[in-house]
Structure formats: C-alpha cells, structure tokens
C-alpha cells in the first residue's frame, strides 16, 4: 500500500525549509532522525506515495515555487493542505507567522494548487486566553474572519483546539511576561458551541483535534487530521490508503498512519509562545 507522507507536524518545512523539502522530493528520499537515535530513510518515489500532506502557517514558498518546490510537489498524485491561521500572526505570540489578512489572502491559490477545496483544511489552532492587566484577551474573535475566508473559497473543513500548556511552553510564556490562562473545560465547551453555531451558518464542518471533552457538542466532530478514508475518497484514482491508527501519535489522536519527514532538529523560527515542538528551550 502506498504511504501518506506528512510534511510536517514537527516543524514548518514549507515556511522555513523549502530547499530541504524540495531536495528530498527530488532525490526521492528523506533521511529523518529517530526520536531515540538513529536515522530512518523514507521512500519518496511518487509511485510509492499516496498523498503528500503539507502543514504550514505560510505557503508563500510553495506558491512562488521557491527552490522549485511547487514543481516537485506536482509530481505526486495528491496534495492535502493543513493551513493554520489563528489571527495571531505577526503579534508577539506568533512573531514569525504572517499577519492574518496576509495569510488568508493565500487561500484561493491554495485551493487551486490542491485542485479541490476538500483537500484544504483551515486550522484555527490553538485558541488562546491571556490576561493583560485586568482584561482577558483571546483570539476567539478572529474566528469569524477565518470562517468567512474558508466559505468564500469553498473550503468546508475547519479544525480547532485549545492551547495545551506544556511545562516548557509555560516557562517560555512566563519568561516573556505573558499571563496565560487555561479555562476550565466547561468554559471551553461553551466557547466551542458558539463557534459551531457560526460554522453552521457558513456551511462549514468544525472538527476538534485531540480534545475528546468537546465530543458530543452539536456541530463538532472529532478530527482525524490525516484520514486515510478521506484521502482515498479524494484521490484522483481512488487509490487505497491505510485506515490503521497512527500509533506514533498521542492516544487521543485519531489520525491514520503516515510517515513524517520533518525533524525537531529543524527548529521552527515562527517563535510561537505556546509551541511544544521547538527544541531550543
């Protein structure tokens, strides 16, 4: 069975490592350090790849064919794009990400690149809360902009999650003077129900990523961000993909099997305060 290639959950290859990614695709092989040492070689021959799944906050390098990246991607049978726009790009919380309006302007070209709006998923992920003085701030208010841009381009899938403040992310936030908040689950459920109502009004599907406490809310579905069944359905030749759970992901993750070609050693310069992946701290 052909493999689904993920590029990448671990770092933003598209935004910051386009030459490396283009070279790996051209060489038909990627050497990926293992989490416990060693190096794994991943076969990237197009005839062995079902779908290339790209994850990014900025697809500009693909759209302008940086390092021939668009040309290399065109050699594969299917692309699926996860595009993260939280409304915080260009702020001190996401200093290296593009401003939200600039990012959303890429969306029509991404739909054209994927060839079908069903192959594009917008990620409103994560949802943050923090305190500035006596005022509680959040990016929830930007959801409507994201939803409107998605609907205008025919994109129907929007994925969300609330920030999970791992220890090193809390240390980073504290060092930067951020008073971050983690509301109780019931409050998060109320906010999500309101977002679901907005999504329904625009004909969107709202998916919750790795947060089962949101299950059961009207209009919310648990997300498999890489879904072998969906990728089969969307594939131009309906080629089969694995339906097995990806055991390398968190227990609550519903994704099916894929091979990730990114590395935590390729440190992402977005500088997001909440990031769990950056190995520098």
pLDDT digits (tens, 9 = 90+) for 210-226: 999 998 899 999 999 99
Residue 139 confidence class, pLDDT cut points 50, 70, 90: very high
Whole-number average pLDDT of the chain: 96
Residue 269 forms part of a structural domain: no
pLDDT digits (tens, 9 = 90+) for 67-118: 999 999 999 999 999 999 999 999 999 999 999 999 999 999 999 999 999 9
In angstroms, the CA 15 to CA 170 distance is 25
Residue 55 forms part of a structural domain: yes
Q: Is the peptide bond before 126 cis (omega within 30 degrees of 0)?
A: yes
Q: Do the Cβ atoms of 62 and 120 come closer than 8 Å? A: no
Number of domains the chain contains? 1
For position 37, what pLDDT does the model report? 79
Question: How many CB atoms within 10 Å of residue 205?
Answer: 18
Q: Do the Cβ atoms of 55 and 82 come closer than 8 Å? A: yes
Ranges assigned E (strand) in the chain: 3-7, 29-33, 39-43, 49-56, 79-84, 120-127, 129-132, 135-138, 157-162, 179-181, 205-208, 220-222, 259-260
Residue 265 forms part of a structural domain: no
Domain residues for 64? 3-260
For position 25, what pLDDT does the model report? 98
Residue 273 forms part of a structural domain: no
pLDDT, greater one: 101 or 276: 101
Q: Partners of 278 in the beta sheet?
A: none
Mean pLDDT, range 237-255, rounded to an integer: 96
Residue 278 forms part of a structural domain: no
Of all residues in the chain, the percent with pLDDT exceeding 70 is: 98
Question: Whole-model pTM above 0.85?
Answer: yes
pLDDT digits (tens, 9 = 90+) for 146-162: 999 999 999 999 999 99
Q: Is the pLDDT of residue 125 over 70?
A: yes
pLDDT, greater one: 279 or 8: 8
**Overall residue count recorded for the chain in this entry:** 281
3-state secondary structure of 60: helix
Residue 29 forms part of a structural domain: yes
Residue 243 forms part of a structural domain: yes
What's the CATH number where 66 sits? Answer: 3.80.30
Q: Is the pLDDT of residue 35 over 80?
A: no
For position 34, what pLDDT does the model report? 78
Which pair of tokens denotes residue 28? 């038909």
Q: Do the Cβ atoms of 20 and 67 come closer than 8 Å? A: no
Which pair of tokens denotes residue 266? 């390729």
In angstroms, the CA 237 to CA 72 distance is 20
């Amino acid at each position: 069975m052909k493999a689904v290639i993920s590029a990448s959950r671990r770092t933003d290859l598209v935004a910051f490592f386009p030459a490396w990614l283009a070279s790996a695709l051209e060489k038909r092989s990627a050497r990926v350090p293992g989490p416990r040492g060693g190096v794994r070689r991943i076969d990237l021959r197009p005839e062995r790849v079902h779908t290339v799944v790209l994850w990014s906050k900025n697809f500009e390098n693909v759209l302008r064919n940086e390092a021939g990246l668009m040309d290399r991607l065109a050699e594969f049978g299917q692309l699926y794009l996860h595009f993260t726009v939280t409304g915080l790009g260009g702020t001190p919380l996401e200093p290296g990400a593009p401003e939200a309006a600039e990012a959303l302007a890429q969306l029509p070209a991404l739909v054209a690149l994927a060839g079908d709006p069903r192959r594009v998923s917008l990620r409103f992920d994560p949802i943050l809360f923090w305190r500035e003085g006596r005022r509680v701030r959040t990016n929830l208010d930007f959801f409507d902009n994201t939803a409107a841009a998605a609907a205008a381009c025919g994109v129907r899938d929007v994925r969300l999650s609330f920030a999970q403040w791992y220890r090193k992310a809390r240390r980073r936030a504290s060092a930067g003077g951020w008073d971050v908040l983690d509301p109780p689950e019931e409050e998060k459920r109320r906010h999500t129900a309101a977002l679901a109502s907005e999504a329904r009004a625009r004909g969107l599907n709202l998916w919750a990523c790795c947060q089962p406490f949101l299950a059961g809310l009207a209009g919310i579905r648990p997300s498999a961000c890489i879904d072998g069944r969906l990728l089969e359905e969307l594939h131009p030749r309906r080629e089969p993909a694995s339906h097995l759970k990806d055991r390398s992901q968190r227990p609550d993750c519903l994704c099916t099997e894929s091979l990730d070609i990114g590395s935590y050693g390729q440190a992402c310069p977005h500088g997001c305060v909440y990031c769990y992946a950056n190995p520098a701290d």
